[in-house]
């Protein structure tokens, strides 16, 4: 768990992306939004979802940096929203256990 939080704390993305993700995370509904971004047969745990979302985000960020014509700002924001929201959910579940 510390590894994923450590990774997330080192992400350096443009302010506009991060700000949009933080705002959007308040409206995130796991059962609705997560399925649009990753495919799964049963609902993954927060850590699994974060790992997969991090892979997708990394690929999107590489496309952004390369100024790839297929890059989608909207998809990048959607993935970052899910990452922020999943991290919040994961922290909340850890706090409940402790």
Predicted local distance difference test score (pLDDT) of residue 41: 85
Per-residue confidence in pLDDT tens, the chain, 98 aa: 456 777 777 788 998 998 999 999 999 999 889 989 998 888 899 889 999 999 999 999 999 999 999 999 999 999 999 999 999 998 888 776 65
Distance (Å, rounded) from C-alpha 32 to C-alpha 19? 22
Predicted local distance difference test score (pLDDT) of residue 49: 93
Structure tokens at 45: 């745990």
Predicted local distance difference test score (pLDDT) of residue 66: 97
Predicted local distance difference test score (pLDDT) of residue 34: 93
Domain of 20? 2-97
Q: What is the DSSP string of 2-22?
A: HHHHHHHHH----HHHHHHHH
In the chain, the number of structural domains is 1
Count the helix, strand and coil residues of the chain and give each as a percent rounded to the nearest 5.
75, 0, 25
């Amino acid at each position: 768990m510390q590894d994923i939080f450590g990774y997330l704390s080192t992400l350096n993305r443009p302010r506009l992306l991060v700000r949009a993700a933080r705002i959007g995370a308040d409206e995130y509904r796991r059962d609705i939004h997560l399925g649009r971004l990753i495919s799964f047969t049963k609902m993954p745990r927060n850590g699994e979802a974060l790992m997969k979302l991090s892979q997708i985000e990394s690929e999107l960020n590489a496309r952004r940096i390369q100024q790839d014509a297929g890059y989608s700002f909207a998809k990048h924001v959607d993935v970052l929203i899910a990452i922020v929201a999943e991290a919040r959910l994961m922290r909340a579940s850890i706090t409940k256990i402790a």
